[in-house]
Structure 1
Amino acid sequence: MKKTITLLFLALSTLCMNAFAALTQEQVIAKEKGLILFNQFKISSALPYLEIASNAGDQDSQYYLGEALRQRNRYMTADARKWYEAAASQGNLYAMVQLGRSSNDLCKTMNNCPESSPPPANWLQEARRFAEPKAEQGDAEAMYIMYEITLNRDWLERSANAGHSIAQFWMAIGDKQGEGFLLPWKRKESVGNWFKASAEGGNPRAMMEYAAFLYENGGDLEVARHWIKAAAEYGYEGGVTSYGAYLAHAPERFGFELDLIKGYAITSLLKELDEGRSMQSYVEEVLPEIAEKMTPQQIKEAEAFSVQWKKTHPPLSFFPDKLSR
């Protein structure tokens, strides 16, 4: 099997002659734009940008192009597989895992899966061959990959204990849902500790979950407000939505001091997510509600504030899981 994979890697290298070449400035810009659009669920808009960097041999772009094509069609297409395999040929473990998972893909039900060589199970074995030695040496991300390959929660816990913020997030979710062997009075404590660790590790989804945990369990609301603001400053859609609404008291929650200008400004940023789920209906409902409480001058100040915010903060993102299902 190892020989088969090696031969496949050699064959796939012909897909992109510049597989390991550095990207030009234009290609870097295309990659960044493609990833921003992908993370905003603007899949169709992201495709041409990701294609530019993928054709230049960038494995991250190749992986996300495979993701975009699979998500757009809701199953593994021949084009999606081609780009996953191009990324996998450069050692991309995430691409290997997605190829391995394709044995359970919707295309099986539809009976139109692209031909795979090697079979999906072999890709998982190859991913494990690369990841397990790194995991055993203490690599937190490799431990998380091992969890995704094996679904063995021990790997997830090891990754979380090694500081991987995504693993910490899923440990919290698992504990919250009753997984693992914890005494009832210890489970809630564990959930809070894992969400806190993940938030401190820079995971904006965990920041919002930890804020909600504090709110629901009588915790320090000043700390909760800190994490909601931090999630918004990361560009996380959930953080921006909540921070803007709570500043404008639409509704009043978490004890935020009323600030209509900032609340309107931050909420208005969500207009950019015009392809992201039902966001526009939310903006069209909440923004006029806030505006009713404001003077024309305040709205003008809010518009200026939103322009400045965009210049000084990351682009909005839904922060989807890198290994999506």
Structure 2
Amino acid sequence: MIIDPKVYENLYTLVSQLNEHKASLTEPLKTSLTELTNASKAIGTALFQQERFDEAEFYLTFPGLAGDAEAQYGMAICSGYQLGAFRYPFPRTVGWLKLAAAQDHVLALMWLGDSQSLTKAKALSTASAAQGDIQSMFNLYTLTEDFTWLTKAAETGNPRALFKLAQTYREHPGLMPNAVARTAEIEVLCQRAADSGYPLALADRLFSPASTATMVEKQRRLAQLAWTGDQDGLLEYGYALAALARDKTRPARTYGLARDLPKAYAALKFEWDRTANTRPVPGLEETLAFIAHQMNATDHDAVPAIESELASKIASAPKYYEPKVVVGYSPN
């Protein structure tokens, strides 16, 4: 989204002043400001979780100025990607971080990285972890490097925690020196996380060189990943069902699936519809046209019902948000 800097600056000032003097506004103005803030937060959060940071920043400005700590942290993330501010403390990023940190936003405190902020982040995370909060356990593992926080998180059965523990065993085999036991534990953890529909675990079973998944399992995991709404899952599933190569320099990956053009079209069309006007997938429009040309009348008639079923599955799939965690600023 391209917003003229002068327009954005004036809008920023106006909204800041409205929030500052909200108590003295007329009731209709208060209502309008609240509705603007809530609608902007919903849109901005959705864009943010799709990693469309340029667009998200505009919408998150409104709840951020209204004092929403999560939106303020989101604004810091957006500016971080735009300015490269994950390594250098640009004032714009730090300003939003300080606003969020003032409201005890733990990830903002961790990112600020000074000793006082880190001490507070640890104390807040310890209190929340005692109440069973998984992200707080992750935070404590990051802050203390105490492996028991990961095992505690995994003991809850949380899919993110199960997969994180499996990854940690892979990266640090010394945590479980017995190679046979370690391999078996990693397998169990990855399977449990994937069975819960956790997208990163499903992708790991499909694409990781370390995956032990059979072709039959991969067929099942591919459908599961597509049904979460994961972009790579939808594309891989659609191309596999169409028996077409995503990369024209390599053979098609079909995973042994029977060719099913209506299902392939529905999966790829879903992804096209949600990205065509923002971040179109290269070659996808041409692929859809090719598949449509190959389908007969019966195939075309079957597509709407398949599209409806797919949309329903994606809408009901568990949603996982993976916050970006930064601890302090690197001098390099």
Same fold by TM-score greater than 0.5: yes
Q: Is the 8 A contact 1:244 1:266 kept in 2?
A: yes
Q: 2:129 aligns with which of 128, 131, 135?
A: 135
- Aligned pair in 2 of structure 1 residues 133, 307: CA closer, same or farther (>3 Å)? closer
Q: 1:115 maps to which residue?
A: none
- Aligned pair in 2 of structure 1 residues 54, 158: CA closer, same or farther (>3 Å)? same
Q: Is the 8 A contact 1:199 1:207 kept in 2?
A: yes
| Superposition deviation, residue 312 in structure 1 | 6.7
Q: 1:186 maps to which residue?
A: 181
> SS state of the match for residue 281, structure 1?
coil
Amino acid at match of 2:243: H
- Aligned pair in 2 of structure 1 residues 151, 273: CA closer, same or farther (>3 Å)? farther
Q: 1:40 maps to which residue?
A: 50
Q: 1:3 maps to which residue?
A: none
Q: Is the 8 A contact 1:243 1:263 kept in 2?
A: yes
- Is residue 172 of structure 1 aligned with residue 166 of structure 2? yes
Q: 2:63 aligns with which of 27, 30, 53?
A: 53
| Superposition deviation, residue 263 in structure 1 | 1.0
CA distance in 1, matches of 2:139, 2:325: 13
Q: Is the 8 A contact 1:192 1:213 kept in 2?
A: no
Q: Which moved more, 1:171-180 or 1:133-142?
A: 133-142
Q: 2:281 maps to which residue?
A: 280
- Aligned pair in 2 of structure 1 residues 157, 38: CA closer, same or farther (>3 Å)? same
Q: Which moved more, 1:43-52 or 1:183-192?
A: 183-192
Q: Which moved more, 1:194-203 or 1:280-289?
A: 280-289
Deviations 1:198-218 (A, max 9, x none): 334452211222345799525
Amino acid at match of 2:166: A
- Is residue 196 of structure 1 aligned with residue 191 of structure 2? yes
TM-score by length of 2: 0.71
Q: Which moved more, 1:205-214 or 1:178-187?
A: 205-214
Alignment size in residue pairs:
289
- Aligned pair in 2 of structure 1 residues 18, 209: CA closer, same or farther (>3 Å)? farther
Structure 2 gaps, min length 5: 1-16, 23-29, 245-251, 327-332
| Superposition deviation, residue 165 in structure 1 | 2.8
- Aligned pair in 2 of structure 1 residues 191, 288: CA closer, same or farther (>3 Å)? farther
- Aligned pair in 2 of structure 1 residues 300, 87: CA closer, same or farther (>3 Å)? farther
**Max radius of gyration: which structure?**
2
Deviations 1:88-127 (A, max 9, x none): 2222212212222xxxxxxxxxxxxxxxxxxx23211110
CA distance in 2, matches of 1:139, 1:39: 20
Q: 2:39 aligns with which of 29, 34, 50?
A: 29
CA distance in 1, matches of 2:156, 2:20: 37
- Is residue 269 of structure 1 aligned with residue 263 of structure 2? no
Q: Is the 8 A contact 1:207 1:231 kept in 2?
A: yes
| Superposition deviation, residue 193 in structure 1 | 1.7
- Is residue 94 of structure 1 aligned with residue 107 of structure 2? yes
Amino acid at match of 1:66: A
| Superposition deviation, residue 154 in structure 1 | 2.9
Q: 2:12 maps to which residue?
A: none
CA distance in 2, matches of 1:293, 1:324: 46
CA distance in 1, matches of 2:312, 2:131: 41
> SS state of the match for residue 209, structure 1?
helix
| Superposition deviation, residue 247 in structure 1 | 2.4
| Superposition deviation, residue 255 in structure 1 | 3.5
CA distance in 2, matches of 1:214, 1:308: 32
- Is residue 293 of structure 1 aligned with residue 306 of structure 2? no
TM-score by length of 1: 0.73
Q: Is the 8 A contact 2:205 2:212 kept in 1?
A: no
CA distance in 2, matches of 1:275, 1:151: 43
How do 1:218-229 residues align onto structure 2 when only pairs under 5 Å count? 218-219=213-214, 221=216, 223-229=217-223
How do 1:152-163 residues align onto structure 2 when only pairs under 5 Å count? 152-163=146-157
Q: 1:83 aligns with which of 92, 96, 101?
A: 96
- Calculate the aligned-residue CA RMSD, in Å: 3.8
CA distance in 2, matches of 1:77, 1:303: 49
| Superposition deviation, residue 276 in structure 1 | 8.4
| Superposition deviation, residue 54 in structure 1 | 1.4
Amino acid at match of 1:209: D
Structure 1 gaps, min length 5: 1-13, 101-119
Q: 1:108 maps to which residue?
A: none
CA distance in 1, matches of 2:123, 2:50: 33
Amino acid at match of 1:198: A
Q: Is the 8 A contact 2:265 2:291 kept in 1?
A: yes
CA distance in 1, matches of 2:304, 2:135: 41
CA distance in 2, matches of 1:170, 1:133: 22
Q: 1:258 maps to which residue?
A: 259
